[in-house]
Amino acid sequence: MKTIKVSAPAKLILSGEHSVVYGYPAIATAVNLRLTANSLGEITSDIPIGAGMGSSAAFAVVSSALKSKEFDLEKINDMAYQIEKGLHGKPSGVDNTVVTYGGFLWYRKENENFKTFKQIKAKVKLPKIMLLNTGSPTETTKEMVEMVGQRYISKKSSTESIFRNIESVTKGFLDLLLGGSEDFGDLIYENEKLLEELGVVSKATKEVVRIIEKAGGRVKISGAGGKKDGSGMAIVYHKDIEKLSLIGKKHGFLFKPVKIGEEGVRIEK
Amino acid sequence: MSNMVNIGSKENPVFVPESALEPDTPKGEEYFQMLASGSVVLPDEVLDALLEKINNENH
């Protein structure tokens, strides 16, 4: 019997972490770190587990694709969603959808039972980015979610203002993807500033961000962040990617180059 | 498949995996990462109830 090999990408939040919980939009993208499995049950993966990069969805999508006879993306996505439901209770469907179809996905929770999903047909190629692990947060992600929730209650007006500004940045990314004139670096910069204002970026991470910014780069954390030590994964961008390797060498930052807008699930030869 | 726990009500059940009640574990961490990035959706009052339940169990 012929062995079939299938792979699926990781997922990254480009913009909208935290605010998405409160009904503001987010853009997720597929990243070229892939989980590969074959019909013999062998699995290999480049996707970090528990880092909010969709490792569970990639596994669900690949498992569904291996079971699917005609490699129908809609069916694969539906099956993967059911697997995710069994694992996580109430998945939004963002992860399995972006991992199945690849590219970029606009998402908003209108209410608990109604969500808006829209595949973004990118008219431009976004630049290459780097991932930088700013270190493991001391806090659990539950504590970060709770902290933002408490801020939302105690400083509702200013927190909503931050969320609205994050929404503008998210719309800026959408505009850029659709061929608009927004600047990728500026959007990353704005997004980071707002996440810092929200209080989900640690002092140590801010220092790293400032070093890279001083050298002309742009950084934003991607995920729930961290307040005391590290803030988890960050997206790093520089118009001149060579300069990033120099900064990396000088300061000991380990950048990992990744491509966003990556292809979704596929059969490997 | 995960073991599910109802943290909603009898009338409006909302099931979360048991790991959601253990945020210090890798699976619990993964669950909350998914929540923070919109990959998992909980009604606001259920999220509050989940956080309260975890905090009560830890004190």
- Which tens digit of pLDDT belongs to each residue from A205-246? 999 999 999 999 999 999 899 999 999 999 999 999 889 999
Q: What is the mean pLDDT of chain A?
A: 94
State the pTM of this model: 0.92
| A138-170 residue pLDDT tens | 999 999 999 999 999 999 999 999 999 999 999
Mark yes or no for CB contact B2/A88 under 8 Å.
yes
pLDDT band at B59; cut points 50, 70, 90: low
Size of interface A-B (CB pairs under 8 A): 119
| Chain B residues whose beta carbon lies within 8 Å of the beta carbon of residue A142 | 23, 28-29, 32, 51, 54
- The band of B43, judged by pLDDT with boundaries at 50, 70 and 90, is confident
For residue B49, the distance in angstroms to the closest alpha carbon of chain A comes to 12
Using the beta-carbon criterion (under 8 Å), do B37 and A26 form an inter-chain contact?
A: yes
**Residues A143-146: contacts with CB under 8 Å, at least 24 apart:** A143/B23, A144/A200, A144/A224, A144/A225, A144/A226, A144/A227, A144/B32, A144/B36, A145/A18, A145/A21, A145/A224, A145/B32, A145/B35, A145/B36, A145/B47, A145/B51, A146/B51
**Residue in A closest to B54 by C-alpha:** A142
